[in-house]
A and B are shown apart, each in its own frame.
Chain A
């Protein structure tokens, strides 16, 4: 079979089945069963598929995924997330657009601890939008920062998606996690700059209101008691990885224990909260790992059928510069993001994009980080970016999709600017992983 036909069959079948509404994991499995039978010698292909799945799922590099998920859920269900949020709210005095800053600062913390842009958006949306609307904020300034901070979740460690991408691209998990730290902080800074400019140009979009004055002693108390401990957990997780004292897996497990100890100290670690956290983390873990099982054979099938080599050979034959090729890959992710979740996008593109990036001589950590950012933008690309629909789900009645697109646009522009920055100055991403070696 020609490689073009093989590639069409492999990618086409998965996409069509997904679009028909088949659960994503089942779509991957179904397409792989069919392709394995064609390319791997009939039913022997199915046996191969299951044996591959066994190997792929017992890979130690994937352990941080359930651990990071559990950590995020514990943080949420024990009420620590809300506590930190309230503290930041009280700490930010009477500045124009304060609630938008609260969203970005609190959201950055939450995103770092939860690692989930969906969860982040849903939580911040239901928490902050009603408050901002009540205070007379424009709907754009209410919703924009929320979708923006969702984007931080995938790059600021601990990020479950970064772990998976590193595993797929066969790059060092710790390095990719660390590569996200500086760009994550930079992105939060860009968001803050945007809000500053926004409220300066259009003060009416964030009317001031009387804020309860908090005395300096009370502020210090809030910082020490309600903000620092949560920040410490993140610093602990990142610090352990940077210093090499612990592997990403160990850092993730210790992060979970850290959140549990904190919750216990605050008297918030109830059996109910613990059970709900495990339940929620289990749901996402099961769902994600079944998709990983389904896609374990996918890259092998791409290689076996000649589709990988064919596609890479085809892509590199054009007179396109390396940079041009990078932009094409980013554009493909943006396009897929219109109708697909990040996990599926990643599993479909990584088996081709990473070998291609290697052929082009890219630093794979740098490339991985750009890919993560592109995945996040893809998730927020109109008309069908899934994050936009999550926002719609928690937005006040009467909010149209157009409102949501307009609210997201300036924040998407910030991520795009960050991508350009990382392309122009690679050390933004590669510096921290390098010093950790």
Chain B
């Protein structure tokens, strides 16, 4: 019964997680389109908007933060397996669980302090001054959101006893 009761919540949560990743992908494409448009406009003798620059910079912050919880779900984070791969299976498993616990703690700490900064930015009405004055809190809010969801994702792995590592050889990629 309890699991059933959780279903709508977990469905919504999954929709948010994948929705954020899709949004991150869309931002990446938008970034390409905006820069290209800027170059085209400039070569047509029209001045592109200075805000293009600012938006591109904000996208750079939002793309990884919105995509990060999805990457944990997809087990896409790189890790080094040179040492751990040589350990006995039982030790490997314990170490893996300890690593996941540490990841939950790291993400939870960052979500907490990220939340505190966001609140402070909101209360003090702080602005990020670039080509225009952007309230800082909506941008900063992506940090507690992202790290909070990453903490949940690592917690989910822990509860399921799943490995955070992707399959195959050490997934270290550029």
Which residues of A approach B to under 8 Å, CB–CB?
17-26, 29-30, 33, 43, 46-47, 50-51, 53-54, 57-60, 62-63, 66-67, 70, 115-119, 160-161, 246, 249-250, 252-254, 256-257, 278-279, 281-290, 293, 338-343, 384, 386, 389-390, 392-393
Contact = CB atoms under 8 A, between A and B. Distances in A.
A70 B32 contact: yes
B174 A285 contact: no
B35 A253 contact: yes
A23 B96 contact: no
A24 B95 contact: no
A379 to B, nearest CB: 9
Interface string B140-158: 1001000000000000000
Nearest to A293: B64
Interface string B35-50: 1101100000000000
Given A33-B109, A50-B114, A20 B77 contact: no
Contact of B174 (A66, A161, A249, A340): A161
Given A63-B56, A390-B169, 19 more contacts: A22-B99, A23-B99, A24-B79, A24-B172, A26-B102, A30-B106, A46-B110, A47-B117, A50-B114, A54-B143, A63-B31, A63-B60, A118-B172, A246-B39, A250-B38, A254-B35, A283-B71, A340-B80, A341-B80
Contact of B71 (A57, A286, A343, A393): A286
A54 B140 contact: yes
Determine chain B's interface SS by DSSP, over half rule. Answer: helix
B17 interface: no
B132 to A, nearest CB: 14
29 contacts: A17-B102, A23-B77, A24-B77, A24-B78, A26-B77, A29-B106, A47-B116, A50-B110, A54-B143, A57-B60, A60-B53, A63-B56, A66-B28, A67-B35, A249-B56, A253-B36, A254-B39, A282-B28, A283-B74, A283-B76, A285-B28, A285-B67, A286-B70, A287-B76, A287-B77, A293-B64, A338-B82, A389-B169, A393-B168
Interface residues of B, number: 58
A29 to B, nearest CB: 5
Given A60-B56, A70-B32, A282-B63, A21 B99 contact: yes
B32 A253 contact: yes
A51 B56 contact: no
Per CB-CB distance, the 4 closest pairs between chain A and chain B, nearest first, are A289-B64, A253-B35, A23-B77, A286-B67
A393 B77 contact: no
A389 B82 CA distance: 10
Nearest to B76: A283
B7 interface: no
A22 B140 CA distance: 26
A283 to B, nearest CB: 5
Interface in B15-36: 21, 24-25, 28-29, 31-32, 35-36
Contacts of A279: 25
Contacts, number: 191
Given A282-B63, A339-B82, A116 B106 contact: no
B120 to A, nearest CB: 9
Most buried by A among B58, B63, B77: B77
B14 interface: no
Contacts of B39: 246, 250, 253-254
Interface of B: 21, 24-25, 28-29, 31-32, 35-36, 38-39, 53, 56-58, 60-61, 63-64, 67-68, 70-71, 74, 76-84, 95-96, 98-99, 102-103, 106-107, 109-110, 113-114, 116-117, 139-140, 143, 164-165, 168-170, 172-174
A20 B67 contact: no
B174 A341 contact: yes
A22 to B, nearest CB: 5
B67 A21 contact: no
B17 to A, nearest CB: 13
Nearest to A390: B169
A343 B98 CA distance: 24
Contacts of A51: 117
A3 B51 CA distance: 43
Nearest to A45: B113
A292 to B, nearest CB: 8
A290 B64 contact: yes
Nearest to B163: A21
A289 B110 contact: no
B65 to A, nearest CB: 8
A53 B79 CA distance: 21
Nearest to B69: A286
B20 to A, nearest CB: 11
Contacts of B169: 389-390, 392-393
